[in-house]
Amino acid sequence: MKLIHCSDIHLGASMRAHLGDTDAKKRQDELLATFSHMIDFAVKNEIDGIIIAGDLLDTDECDLKTRNFLIDTIKNASNVQFYYLCGNHDENSLLLRGESLPNNLNVFGDTWTTFKLKNINITGVTLGTDNFRLYNSLNLPPKETNIVVLHGADIHGRATVEPDTVNLDLLKNHNIDYLALGHLHSFREGRLDSRGVYAYSGCLEGRGFDECGPKGFILLDINEHSISRKFIPFARRMLHDIDIDITNLKSTHDILEKIKSSLSQISQNDLVRINLVGSYTLETEKHLELLLSSLETGFFYLTIRDKSHLKLDINKYLDDVSIAGEFVRQVQASNLSIEDKERVITLGLRALTGEEVKL
């Protein structure tokens, strides 16, 4: 038997942190399309069920168009069973209200609920404020294959229960074979106890530059008590946050060539943020607008942040007969703190070279 474990789809997320209205709307539609394509994958590959471990929606509210599309897509995949656990973003999901739900959509509540799929128990609960009681009341048959579905960040400590967390220590020795988790947006797995393992599938599509790298779902292949798992990258676009050290680079051309080299293996469908790091001198030629316009060659989104710092020997300006030298002497003679003097001198000298300075 085969199952898909996914989570944190966040349909309806604004996507406007970095994108304009048009591209943000496109990314919103792509989140929905990727979820739909995953269901197509399940149908084509005869997957028995899809576990959604929380945060299918970004908020409790769901517009009618999205709700109808989701309901119709799930209903049309009639040979696939869906197991939906609400997360902290969609715990009062409007998706579940109104008209009757598809027969193949199984929803976990605020008490332990088990759905039987062939010879597998799929058990889940929405964690609340009395989680010690929930952990203690979990009773799974030791001779059967048990999958448990929860949503929260993993923590340890037998006396620790916090909101939006899953206490792994309190789930040990409960006859769990696979703990399907949601909440963290990157794939991660580990051993729960001598019998079972836990895994976060991560999100299907990255939404911001704190969600870089491959995104997708986990494919489970279950044979009696044996559960093999494989992470399947599935995102339409990947996000990349790349540091470019410009130390010892002398010109905009040199910086551009180093950036191009770092982008050579990245798909133009992706979203990229370049961070200029390291140090530079007043002699370094560094024009951000020219860099950006030279790199706009088809990426869905590309931006450049300057996080580099000016390497400056203030002492060499103290006896310099120049505007820069006089500026440094005046600041050094002021009542500013040492830290403020360094900042003012650095910004002032950068401005004197013609660099655009943002305060």
Q: What is the pLDDT of residues 135-153, one digit of tens each?
A: 999 999 999 999 999 999 9
**Closest of 281, 284, 288, 280 to residue 256, by C-alpha:** 288
Provide mean pLDDT across the span 71-99.
82
CB 145 within 8 A of CB 134: no
Provide mean pLDDT across the span 313-319.
78
pLDDT, residue 128, reads 82
Q: pLDDT-derived band of residue 91, with 50, 70 and 90 as boundaries? A: low
Q: For residue 220, list its beta bridge partners.
A: 3, 229
State how beta strands 309-310 and 279-280 pair: parallel
Q: For residue 301, list its beta bridge partners.
A: 271
CA distances to 255, 282, 345, 354 from 317, rounded to whole Å, are 27, 12, 10, 18
Q: How large is the C-alpha radius of gyration of the chain?
A: 27
Please check the confidence at residue 175 and state whether its pLDDT lies above 70. Answer: yes
Provide mean pLDDT across the span 69-80.
94
Please check the confidence at residue 211 and state whether its pLDDT lies above 70. Answer: yes
pLDDT, residue 191, reads 97
- If one compares 90 and 258, the residue with the highest pLDDT of the two is 258
**Closest of 128, 94, 96 to residue 112, by C-alpha:** 128
Tokens, residue 273: 């943020």
CB 283 within 8 A of CB 316: no
pLDDT, residue 184, reads 96
Please check the confidence at residue 78 and state whether its pLDDT lies above 70. Answer: yes
Tokens, residue 81: 């069973």
* d(C-alpha 47, C-alpha 54), whole Å: 20
Provide mean pLDDT across the span 313-342.
85
pLDDT, tens only, 92-137: 666 666 667 899 999 998 899 999 998 899 999 998 878 888 999 9
pLDDT, tens only, 335-357: 999 878 878 887 888 788 776 66
* d(C-alpha 177, C-alpha 219), whole Å: 15
pLDDT, residue 99, reads 65
One of 3.40.50.720, 3.60.21.10, 3.40.720.10, 3.30.360.10 is the CATH number of 2-233, namely 3.60.21.10
Which amino acid, 193?
A: D
pLDDT, residue 59, reads 73
pLDDT, residue 145, reads 96
Q: What are the extents of the domains in the chain?
A: 2-233, 240-352
Provide mean pLDDT across the span 44-57.
95
CA distances to 159, 258, 341, 346, 350 from 357, rounded to whole Å, are 52, 24, 16, 10, 7
pLDDT, residue 68, reads 85
State how beta strands 49-53 and 81-85 pair: parallel
Tokens, residue 302: 């590309």
pLDDT, residue 349, reads 81
Most confident by average pLDDT, 186-195, 305-314, 322-331:
186-195
CB 182 within 8 A of CB 85: yes
Please check the confidence at residue 89 and state whether its pLDDT lies above 70. Answer: no
**Closest of 52, 79, 94 to residue 201, by C-alpha:** 52
pLDDT, residue 161, reads 77
pLDDT, residue 12, reads 83
Most confident by average pLDDT, 160-169, 171-180, 322-331:
171-180
pLDDT, residue 62, reads 67
pLDDT, residue 309, reads 84
**Closest of 292, 286, 289 to residue 272, by C-alpha:** 292
> pLDDT averaged over the chain?
90
Give the three-state DSSP class for 261: helix
pLDDT, residue 299, reads 92
pLDDT, residue 114, reads 97
Residues 6 or more apart in contact with residue 94 via CB below 8 angstroms: 60, 61, 62, 67
Which stretches within 64-162 are classed as H helix?
Answer: 64-76, 131-136
Percentage of the chain lying above the pLDDT 90 cut: 62
pLDDT, tens only, 2-46: 999 999 999 888 888 888 889 989 999 999 999 999 999 999 999
